[in-house]
Amino acid sequence: MVEYHFIQTGLQKGEYCIYTTHEDDVQLIEKKMADFGIDIEGYKRTKKLYVCRISDPRLDPLGLLQGIENLRRSIIGESKRPIRIVSRFIRNIESEEDKLANMFVERTVHSPFEKYNGSFMCPYPVSNIQSAIEGAWMQNHLRNHHTAIFIFKGDKGLAIDLP
């Protein structure tokens, strides 16, 4: 709901919006967005909304860093227009290797983001991340984002602006 609201608000403001997924069924996500009240076909027709499948940057034959750069370039490019993105480059955070790769992605993608005219939401289902609240992973994410939004069971939430 938070992701779709973020996209819907951007579309209403005339921003270009991109939603990425690692899942094969892009149409299912588009259906969920439509059920949320987003005019999928209208925004796709005006090229304001893109829902696309991405691959894990670790699969790039030239390595993780080049994979991150290729994904960043394919999603953001050199856009100067207002843009909103919902994306997570590492599909699942289940192992120590996943966690370390994800931390590296967050540091790498966030640092040059200041030059873009837009905002980027990185959704993480923390309940599925082993030991997410333990030091390193959470500290890395809080250090590399402007805001953190936590949604708890029972539809309660907390938003924190970060230094």
pTM: 0.82
User: Where do the domains of the chain lie, and which CATH numbers do they carry?
Assistant: 2-125 (3.40.50.300)
Q: Which of 112, 162, 116, 115 is nearest to 140 (CA)?
A: 162
Instruction: Please provide the average confidence, as pLDDT, over all residues in the chain.
Output: 82
CA atoms within 13 A on the CB side of 40: 16
More confident residue, 3 or 117: 3
When pLDDT is averaged across residues 62-75 and rounded to a whole number, the result is 86
How does residue 121 score in pLDDT terms, banded at 50, 70 and 90? Answer: confident
How does residue 134 score in pLDDT terms, banded at 50, 70 and 90? Answer: low
What's the CA dihedral at 16, 42, 86, 109 to 10 degrees? Answer: -30
Position 13 scores a pLDDT of: 93
Annotate 100-116 with b (16+ C-beta within 10 A) or e (fewer). Answer: bbbbbbbebbbeebeeb
Highest mean pLDDT pick, 12-16, 72-76, 137-141? 12-16
More confident residue, 138 or 72: 72
47 vs 69: CA distance, rounded Å = 23
